[in-house]
A and B are shown apart, each in its own frame.
Chain A
Amino acid sequence: MTRRHNDGPTLTRRTTLGLAGASISAGALPGFAADAGITVTNPKYEALYRRTGTYYKNDPQWVSWTTPRLTWPQAGEKVPELTVTIPNVQTNWLDAWRKFAADAGKLGLSYNIQQVSEARWLDLIGLHTHGDIEVHAAILRPERIDPAEWATSRAYGLDRRNYGEWVNEQYDAVIEAQVAESDPVKRLKLVQEAQRILADDLYITQFGWGPGVIEAYNSAAWDGVVQTRGFGIGSFNAFHTFLRATPKTARRKMIVGIHSLLETTSIIAAGNNMRAIGRMIYDRLAYMDENLKIIPWACESWTRIDDRTWDMKLRPGMTFHDGKPVTIDDLQFTFDFMLKYERGNFWTANMFLAKTEIQDAANGILRATFKQPYGQFESYFLQLNVILPKHIWQNIMAEQGVGDDPMRVRIDKPIGSGPFKFGRYRKDAELQLIADKTHFSKPSIDEVWAVATPSIDGLLGRLQSGDIDLIESSDTHLTPSQAKQLADSPGIAIVRTPDLNWLHGVPRPSNLPWRDIEFRRAWHHSFDREFLVKVVWEGSGRLPAANTFLVEGNPWNNPDLPPVPPFDLDKARGILKGAGYSWAADGRLVYPAPDDANFRQRVKQVCKDGYTWGGLEMIG
């Protein structure tokens, strides 16, 4: 079972620690190491490397790592050892990388695989001090079916989560266009164009599309489970099963095993689980159906006025769990509150929101205006925002004396308008969710109990003995061997759902040796992807058709991209030889000669012909 504890760095506070850490070390060394002669081709990107306080140029560690990689190699200088950083929780990534490292050795490349704790891994990649290659996997969230989450963050020149610091100006132009494109058809074209540039310039390489979403549930007690594409049946992120499943026995209480329960019960300061469970208690404005199509939820409908303005119509007749009616004032208050205080989970959705105003109180119409043309209204803005009860949150900040920091607000018993009410809760042990039968999409069962079981063995054991009905699968999926084990237990059904997952490696095009596109082409040939899919994932996954993380089955996939370069060490050696590389006596790869004009041209240009590089420049 691949258990992925935490998701991307932007939404959690961990990167703040990196920030703080860097600030201390930076503070310790008064700015002299700051720029050390590192310049950026296109001044537009200068701001990224200097703007945010303690990053990159202000981080001596980053500077000391990057400077040697931007100086021209002498004659006969070997390609340095390439550092790969992997969190130790992901034992199967390491198993794959052992094979990759062995193969790369035959090419004269040596990898230094760094295994660090997950927390430390997020710190390192946040500060871009993780070395040469960053390995990352997909964690599907409802808002992530919008391409911006990955297509933008992982490769957009001005986004810090672009760990390879790849700055392709054509790519960035397309990205900036698609974010502002509110017409879905036009936006799809732009997103597909972005994927083509990304694949064409050989930046990120996909190791495999998977692991597959395999789940098991107590089929003797429950019927009518709903398979949501990419999520499966048991994820609190896609909670259709908990709405529509019907009991086969007298028991109308579904018991779900979960790896760990809520870190906090306040949705503002939500950890992973509360972000999902929280949106079963508070109503989202819009939600997705099992085919990932956006459907109305708290907002009955919405109409687009122009490329930065929308009118949202609140669904009439909704009530909060304490019986009070949901009014347009609650919606207006929620946005006022978010814009004024919230800088955490909801900020990524409301970052581009200018203002909201009640357009027609009687019919419950609210108008939202964005600072710039906005393309992510439905899948991102409507899905992430929820309705907070004004009568509870109105002056909660003052009452609890937490100043202007919403994170420290304590909500021991969340009251929302969602399909489930917050029932009995014992920290780290169990959480009861009671069905709200007055909800417009009311659950057919009565209760859902989430039981904390920190070990995978514990989850499987309880499933087999019938103590739990299914395993919450937002970050824990079964492997085929585990599924086989469970298959022969009575009353347990195995469910396989097409997944949208991927695992990819992000090299460092801003540094040598990656700046040379020929090196990247050869590098792409050095991965035995079949080993990952067939052995490590035990066959539960697919060989990637192309170097894109919007995999086949993802609504935004670009079907006609160049295929992934096949695993072929001889071809790789041929490419390297053709590009002027040679091998030292000990078999290690050596840079082309300093006077090799083609090499110098390629390294200067970094991108493939037809694209312009805007990122870091070589020194001297």
Chain B
Amino acid sequence: MAPRGDRSSGLRLILRHPSGIAGGIVVAVFTLLAVIGPLIAPHGPFEVVYNPDHSVLRLAGPTVRAWFGTTNQGMDVFSQLLWGTRSAMLVGLLSAIGSVVIGTMIGLVAGYFGGWIDEVLMRLTDVAFGIPFLPFAMVVISITRPSLGLVILLVVSFLWRTTARVIRAQVLSLRARPFVWAARAAGAGHLRILLRHIAPNVLPLSFLYAAIGVQAGVMLEAALSFLGYGDPNAMSWGTMLNAAFQAGAMRSAWWWVLPPGLALSLFVTAIFMITRAYEELLNPRLRAI
């Protein structure tokens, strides 16, 4: 556990960690793009790019009029990428927050109170682990209407399972620590102990799983959109890849396929880099002497 006093040097540590820095920069760039992207995007996500002679600029490679080229229906790939960044970040962020909040809470309560509460919550986690996410999400979406909100809800309703288990294990070990006994002996109520003593120690771990949540959220949204279960009105990287896949352009229109594919990989790798750096902060032994 990173001793609390170590916070400032913690940041210094991440900065000293090469991949940590690289990851940080890439995520910062993506966040910036997500915010200003749609404003600077030359075209709307579904807007068609026309040539001067009003014919459609279709499946064109990167040109001055469309920096990343156009899709089979003449839509600008670069603008779609920018709009896609916004939904990717949105999904990533919300699913991370959601999964971490729920996961941490369940982990805290299960780990701290134990007994039948723990048993029930852990069975709930087993159930969440038992159901394969992608197929389940497809069934739910095929019943109702596909929308970004539903995708986020589904991702959140699954991602908390790993966080819960990890946090619970952490809380179990913390609960046995002397300082908790001492606090109880001093007459502190359960809530106070949970919030004042245990939660702060668990937070660093929750942040770690928040990052993992972002990564899983973005990947799962891309997978669902690729299968055609994404939100048709929201432009996301997965939808771009699905459109290319449906248009059978994967093999030829590299300018249409590479940007979303690479953006997805880059964004997820960056998050992964940060988690690696952060994990070494958490676990001193991993630190290279």
Contacts and interface: CB of A to CB of B under 8 A. Distances in A.
Contact of B59 (A459, A461, A481, A536): A481
B204 to A, nearest CB: 42
Interface residues on B, range: 20 to 34
Most buried by A among B58, B247, B252: B247
Interface string A448-485: 00000001110111001000000000000001011011
15 contacts: A91-B246, A92-B73, A94-B232, A113-B233, A115-B233, A117-B143, A117-B146, A456-B248, A457-B248, A457-B251, A464-B251, A481-B72, A485-B248, A485-B251, A534-B56
A116 interface: yes
B141 A117 contact: yes
A89 interface: yes
Given A88-B232, A460-B251, A535-B73, 15 more contacts: A88-B229, A115-B145, A117-B141, A117-B146, A120-B142, A455-B245, A457-B251, A481-B58, A481-B59, A482-B248, A485-B249, A485-B251, A535-B48, A536-B73, A538-B73
B260 to A, nearest CB: 15
A31 B141 CA distance: 31
Given A91-B232, A457-B245, A457-B251, A114 B145 contact: yes
A117 B142 contact: yes
Interface string B34-62: 00000000000010100000001011000
B228 interface: yes
A92 B243 CA distance: 10
A599 to B, nearest CB: 35
A461 B251 CA distance: 7
Interface in B16-39: none
B interface, over-half SS = loop
A510 B73 CA distance: 36
A88 B232 CA distance: 8
Interface string B206-233: 0000000000000000000000110011
Interface string A105-119: 000000001111101
Contacts of B250: 457
A503 interface: no
B248 to A, nearest CB: 4
Contact of B248 (A1, A89, A116, A120): A1
A456 B229 CA distance: 17
B195 to A, nearest CB: 44
Nearest to A455: B245
A89 B228 contact: yes
Contacts of B141: 117
A89 B242 CA distance: 11
B238 interface: no
Given A94-B232, A535-B56, A1 B146 contact: no
Most buried by A among B72, B245, B248, B252: B248
A461 B243 CA distance: 16
Interface string B168-187: 00000000000000000000
A98 interface: yes
A568 interface: no
A131 B287 CA distance: 62
Interface of A: 1, 3, 88-89, 91-92, 94-95, 98, 113-117, 119-120, 455-457, 459-461, 464, 479, 481-482, 484-485, 534-536, 538
Contacts of B249: 481-482, 485
B92 interface: no
B245 A535 contact: no
B84 interface: no
Contacts of B246: 1, 3, 91, 456
Given A459-B248, A536-B73, A91 B142 contact: no
Contacts of B229: 88
A62 B245 CA distance: 38
B107 interface: no
Nearest to B48: A535
Contacts of A484: 59
A116 B145 contact: yes
A459 B247 CA distance: 11
Contacts of A459: 248
A91 B73 CA distance: 11
B103 interface: no
Contact of A460 (B59, B74, B248): B248
B88 to A, nearest CB: 20
B61 to A, nearest CB: 13
Nearest to B54: A534
A95 B46 CA distance: 8
Contacts of A536: 73
B143 A120 contact: yes
A538 B145 CA distance: 28
Contacts of A115: 145-146, 232-233
The 7 A-B residue pairs whose C-beta atoms are closest, nearest first, are: A117-B142, A456-B248, A460-B248, A481-B72, A115-B232, A457-B250, A485-B252
Contact of B146 (A88, A113, A455, A534): A88
A534 B73 CA distance: 9
Contacts of B251: 457, 460-461, 464, 485
Interface string B127-142: 0000000000000011
